Structure formats: C-alpha cells, structure tokens
Amino acid sequence: MHYGRRAMDTPPRTRAAATLAASRHALALLALAASLSACGRSGSAADAPIELPGAAGSQKAQGASAAALASPAALASPAPAEDEPPPGLPEGPPIVSLGGVATPPAPIPEGRPRLASTSMLTRVYARPSTDAKPVGFLRAGAVVEMDPEPAGTSGCPGGFRKIKPFGYVCVGPDATLDLDDEIVRATARRPDVTHKLPYMYGTVTRGGPAYARIPTEDDLARFEPSLKKHLDRWAKDEESGATYGLDVWLKWSAEPAPPALDALAQRITDREIPWYLRDGRRAPNLSGLIKTSDAVKIDEVSRRNGMAFLESFLHEGRRYNVTTDLRVVPADRFRPIRGSEFHGVEIGKDIDFPFALVRRAGGKRWRVVGKKLVDGGELEWRSAVPLTGKQQFFGGKLHYETKDGDWVDDRHAGRIDPAKKMPAWGKNGEKWLDVNITKQVLVAYEGTKPVYATLISSGEAGLDDHKSSTATKRGIFRIHTKFVTSTMDSDTVGEEFELRDVPYVQYFEEGYALHGAYWHDKFGRPKSHGCINLSPEDARRLFFWTEPAVPPGWHGAARSLTGTVVFVHP
C-alpha cells in the first residue's frame, strides 16, 4: 500500500521507513511500523506549517545509462538561491569523522550575547523575515551566540537576532534572550553526538500514562489501577523487564544504581531528581499537553511508540524517564534500546578494493578440494572480507575468492567495487553517495575517491515501482534537509504508530530519507518501506560528512540545490 506525503510541520513527524526488530517484545510496535511507505511528514494541529527546500535540481534516473550519468549535464551544481546565505562554517575537523571520532566544538566564549531555543523546533531564517526560507533549526535548550543588536521585525514583534555562524532567529514564542527560562534550563542536556544514539531510547512494551509530574500514590491508584499486575509481569519478563538493560537508563548517571527489583522493594529515591520535578512541581510545558494548572496525566504511550529520553531517576522505588519534550513516563513500560553495534568500513584505511560485505547470516567459507567445495568454517556476519578479484560459479552459484584462498558465495556476501563509470559530480570533486539497491550497499565518495562503505536496508519491495509499493525511489537527488533527530509516525487507521527522535535524518527527495534505525538490526536486507535505513553509527558518521552541514548546537539544516548527491540505482 502506498501512502501520500504531507508537507513538513512543527514538530517534524514523518511516515517512516520503519522495520521489524529482533526482539519479540517490539513486534507489536514494529509490525505496524513496517507498513509505512516512504517518509511523509505530519504534525499536530497546533503547529504552524513551515516551508522547506525541496529536492530542486534532482533528476529521475531509473534506467539511466552510465554514459548519461557521466555527462556533465546529468546533474549541475546550481548556485545557492538568493534567499540562502553562504554557510560561513568554521574551519577545523568535523564534529564526527567517518572513522567515528567526535570532536566537540569549542564553547561560546564568556561574555558573548546569546539566544536560546524554547521550542521543539525553532526556525533559523535566511533573512530577518518570517517570509524568508528556513536554513536551519534549533531545538529547546540550544544556546547559540548572536549579534547584540536587533536585525529587524518583519513578521516578528520581538525582533530578529542574527546568530552564529549564519541566519536569523525570531525572539518570541520559540526563542528567548532569557537563559534562565525554565524550558531552557530543563532541556540543557544536548543530543550526544559522540554516541551512536543521541539520547536514551526505549520501545513501549506495555502501554500506560504519561504524566506532567511525578505521580503520587493517589495518582497511581487513579491512572494505573492495574499497576501491581503490570509490575509483577515486568519483574518476571527476562527479555525486556526488570533485569534487562538498566545500563541504558544510566547513560548520564554519575552514580551506580541498584538492581531494579531491589530499588522497588526498598522504595529507593535518587538524590538527584530533576529540579523541575521536585516537591510536586510540574515539568515546563514544552509538550504543549499541560492544559490546566492541576494536570497530572497528560498523554498515553502505547505499544506503537518508540521514545527518546533526557533523564532517568528513581522515585519511591519506581524508575521514571523524562522524554525530550518533558513528559514523565514510567520506565517499566519500555524496553531499553541499545541499537545495532554494526557500522561500515573506511576504504583505504580499514580495507581496500576489492572486498565483500557479508550481508546475511549463516554464510560459509568454502575451500576447493579437488573439484569440490569443502566447508571452511563460518563467515562472520556483516564482516568485510578482502578479495583477490577472481570469481567463479560453483554449483550454479557465483563465488568470490578471498585473499586467504577461500571462496564466499554471492547469496551471503556482496562484492564491492568502485564506480565503473565516474559521474560528472564525482569528476567535479563533490561528495556523493552511491546507493545500490540490489546489493543493499552504500558507498561514499569524495570526488572520485571512495572513502566509506556499509550495508543498508532499503524499501522491502526492491525494484518495484515506488509509486505503488514500498520500494525506495530511484534517481539522482541532493540532500535538502537534515535533522539530528526527527519523529516518524503513521496515522493510517489500524496502523498508527509513532517513533520519536529517529536519529540522523537526511531528506533527499520529497519525504525519502536516509536515517538511523534504532528498532531493528537487519542491515544488508531490504526491510524499510521507502526510506534508506542505516545502522545508528553509520547514520551518525554520514550525517556529519554530508552537506548541508549542521552547525554546532543546531538541530537541523535546510538548503536546496547544493546538498550532497544521492544516487539510488539497481
């Protein structure tokens, strides 16, 4: 089934390329996620729509010949639109290298004027006018350096401020000059780009309430009347219950925590409860769901949800997490998510051509003895195997010779070679991504030089028509919009779900995107319903390698015409 695509709203929500997870406890959520097609966007009714650069300059390339792709006319590099400023980014190493090394940017010098975001998505405009194009986005808690003087009031009564390294932000409902604002202080923890997952993550195993504050005993009796039964099941669940994944919730904890069941039995309360939840206080209303001064339960989470968290703490024995929009949820209703450990290889550093990536489990190394193949042992799943370049059919199946004299078959290991016909954008020295749907492989190039290779999960309909199936759209595109994290959801009746804070999202055509998938570990096989799924670590590395660059402290960037080329082909 194919679903239409919506314009982008705030906060960003998307029809995702979601796929099945390994854990059977995530199946209810992920079976629904797997029904998505491509990546449209939707948002709450209270959110104002925003105009973003589209895939201007992209071309259809289904069936395009190598000669056509190599032609300079195949994909020009137009000058930026008049509305968009030059990037003006600082010199120095990338925030994250292709090798995965993070180099945090220098802090803002003391005494410099600053501005802070108070919204889940604060627009950065190309000019000091709300009629200008957004060139980037901040998220609540982000603090950026600004010029001290106002820069105009077109559409913004509070006045625009020019921020570093470029762009203008309207001081008003979405941004403030008051760095002591409650939302700014409560969301001071920034996404952790030194790690494959920028927040703590969990998928819902047992639905329940989301609160505006820490619930009292009376609140629990009212809103969770079956709590004892729920906790009894949670205590016995070895795969996603009390004994599983406590380390995930301790990501930012300075002290060790007792086992979950011990904490519950002893009614332990952490010394460091978030300041905004102490003494019965309600969280700042970043979610927009706190409608009255006495609100307690403000939302529901269901088995169709995946979420990210800023905080985790014990209160009277029970652990609570705080979502990125400051909802308080019981941690025992979530399965902690670590995310896949897989990532690709740097070409020329980790391995050289020719090589194969093992895309399916269960593969074997084979040795030729006489005229027969003899089992030479297990082939490590998703490893990179150096090849000699020789290939041969055995039993009607294509095999590749490894440098240690064994043979591996093409069903389990896909041979990776450099582009046979270098396209114009490569000859021009641009960065570009070569996405091979048949092999389920992505190769990143810097001009004509291949620098990184990894396995992907594209649309599960393979090479079918993307308009009527779950196939990934093929063609030549440019990345136009990026978010450190973005929410992906479906409101199709019977298939509703929401995956919050999907990491490292890069849109390249309409709603189609490359993004990290924290809910499955099937990279190397078609599993999505339109988007190109990457392992979280691959998504992190490529996010900071591609254009448009996301400046330090920003949550996203948008720029038409000049983003990194994405070539998706059979």
Residues pairing with 323 in the sheet: 309
Task: Please say whether the beta carbons of 508 and 480 come within 8 A.
Answer: yes
Q: Match 């190394």 to its residue by tokens.
A: 365
List, as one string, the DSSP characters of 79-92: PPPTTS----PPPS
Task: Respond yes or no: is residue 156 known to be catalytic.
Answer: no
The total of other beta-carbon atoms located within 10 Å of residue 204's CB is: 24
The whole-angstrom distance between residue 436's C-alpha and the CA centroid of its chain comes to 21
Task: Respond yes or no: is residue 399 known to be catalytic.
Answer: no
CA angle, 161 then 89 then 83, to 5°: 55
Task: Please say whether the beta carbons of 330 and 208 come within 8 A.
Answer: yes
As a whole number of angstroms, the distance between CA 238 and CA 216 comes to 28
As a whole number of angstroms, the distance between CA 502 and CA 528 comes to 14
User: Which entry of 412, 466, 515, 555 is annotated as an active-site residue?
Assistant: 515
Nearest by Cα to 39 from 459, 462, 562: 459
As a whole number of angstroms, the distance between CA 296 and CA 316 comes to 18
List, as one string, the DSSP characters of 476-492: EEE--EEEEEEEEEE-S
Sign of CA dihedral 380, 338, 514, 549: negative
Task: Please say whether the beta carbons of 496 and 22 come within 8 A.
Answer: no
User: Which entry of 39, 156, 170, 531 is annotated as an active-site residue?
Assistant: 531
Nearest by Cα to 455 from 403, 418, 407, 414: 414
Provide the annotated active-site residues. 515, 531
